[in-house]
Amino acid sequence: MDYQRVLDEMLHVATPLTHQGAVADYIPELARVASGQFGVALCLVDGTTFSAGAADTRFSIQSVSKLFTLSLAYRLEGDALWRRVGREPSGTPFNSLVQLEIDHGIPRNPFVNAGALVVTDTLCSHYAHPSLAILDFLREISGAGDVNFNSAVAESEAGHGHRNAAMAHFIKSFGNLATDVDAVLQTYFQHCSIEMSCVELARAALFVANHGVVPHGGKAILTPLATRRLNAILLTCGTYNAAGDFAFKVGLPAKSGVGGGIVAIVPGQLAICVWSPTLDEYGNSVAGVAALEHFSALTAHSVFQ
Ligand code: GLN
């Protein structure tokens, strides 16, 4: 497969779309990011890397971080985690509160904000410095020792994060947060604010394509079974209430974020990350989804073979 040609064609298809949609502005710092940008990077499990466009530009990973916090929590908690968070697609926006009351404070899945807050809570229980533990994990698996938080973004979100705060308090009222609400929120805003490039995110996600093992160094993050399950949750829940449409168009497990990044996995083969800041109504990158649809069409990579 000539992946460089594939990525160049994705860049070609995506570039005219990079002004469609809108940059996330409910986090004021994110509204400052310029539209018109697109990057893509692909890492094979043997470490070979291909890229096109702004693949080395760092952006706010936002909810893509939830792939990594879930991996850490699943490793620490095992299947006990599923007593506190479900595995069903929500069919509601990522920041919706409506199901929480009906579901008695058990979020539908770990990728909607409510579920990610519970996942972050488990990390707050396990680590003295949970934000640093998440950052260290990302530095280790991406091989980029200077990956960091963007404190302006974290503070901006904290200053406008009333919905997430309401959600965290609501979950706490059902007894499904063990640690301090403000500490959970602070840790959540911090890990969402981490900045990485497409190349760094594709490399960091390689263990999800490689049966749970980081190819460079050989460290096992998750068991092969847990990795298959993680991929299943990515496929069904990773792009929120657009997950059905994304599965139809792209057919790969993936995680998106409102910074405009999307990481997708071809199990056993590769991880790919696209980035373009303008979003559709579901909070997924317009050009990013279109580029991945083109990737799937060109390569026939899909879990639905
Ligand atoms: N930090 C963002 C929030 O909590 C993440 C949302 C996202 O990327 N979908 O709203």
Question: In this structure, is residue 205 part of a structural domain?
Answer: yes
Q: Token pair for residue 204?
A: 């960091």
CA dist 43 and 53 (Å) reads 15
Please check whether residue 270 is in contact with residue 43, taking contact to mean a CB–CB distance below 8 angstroms.
yes
Q: Where are the alpha helices (DSSP H) in 143-223?
A: 151-160, 162-173, 181-192, 198-204, 206-209
Mutate to test the pocket of ligand 1, among 25, 26, 27 (most ligand atoms within 8 A of CB): 27
Q: Tell how far the Cα of 160 is from the centroid of ligand 1, in angstroms.
A: 12
pLDDT tens across 41-78, in order? 999 999 999 999 999 999 999 999 999 999 999 999 99
Residue 168: inside a domain: yes
Q: Looking at ligand 1, which residue's alpha carbon is closest to its atom 2? A: 62
**Is residue 304 in a domain?**
no
Give residues with Cβ within 8 angstroms of 253, minimum separation 6: 208, 230, 231, 232, 234, 235, 238, 264, 265, 267, 303
- Provide the token pair at 246: 């994304």
Tokens linked to 225: 């079974």
pLDDT of res. 53: 98
pLDDT digits over 170-193, tens only? 999 999 999 999 999 999 999 999
Q: Give the distance (Å) from ligand 1 centre to CA of residue 200.
A: 20
Question: Helices H, strands E: what count in the chain?
Answer: 13, 9
What is the residue range of 89's domain? Answer: 3-299
How many domains, in total, are found in the chain?
Answer: 1
* 90 backbone dihedrals φ, ψ, rounded to 5°: -85, -30
Ligand 1: nearest atom to the Cα of 116: 4
Return the SS3 of 275: strand
Q: Which helix (H) or strand (E) holds 25?
A: none
Contact criterion met (CB below 8 Å) for 18 and 11: no
Distance 94 CA to ligand 1 centre (A): 7
State the distance from the centre of ligand 1 to the C-alpha of 113, rounded, in angstroms: 7
Question: Which of the listed residues 23, 65, 70, 113 should we mutate to test ligand 1's pocket, taking the one with most ligand atoms within 8 A of CB?
Answer: 113
H-run or E-run covering 28: none
Which domain CATH number covers 109?
3.40.710.10
| End-to-end C-alpha distance for the chain, whole angstroms | 17
CA 24 to ligand 1 center in whole angstroms: 9
The residues facing 265 across adjacent strands are 271
Walking along the chain (305 residues) 10 residues at a time, the average pLDDT comes out as 97 98 96 97 98 98 98 97 97 92 97 98 98 98 98 97 97 98 98 98 98 95 98 97 97 98 98 98 97 98 96
Is residue 144 within 8 Å of residue 215, measured between CB atoms?
no
Please check whether residue 305 lies inside any domain of the structure: no
The pTM assigned to this predicted structure is 0.98
Ligand 1 atom nearest to CA at 26: 10
Dist. CA 218 → ligand 1 center (Å): 31
Residue 149 placed within a domain: yes
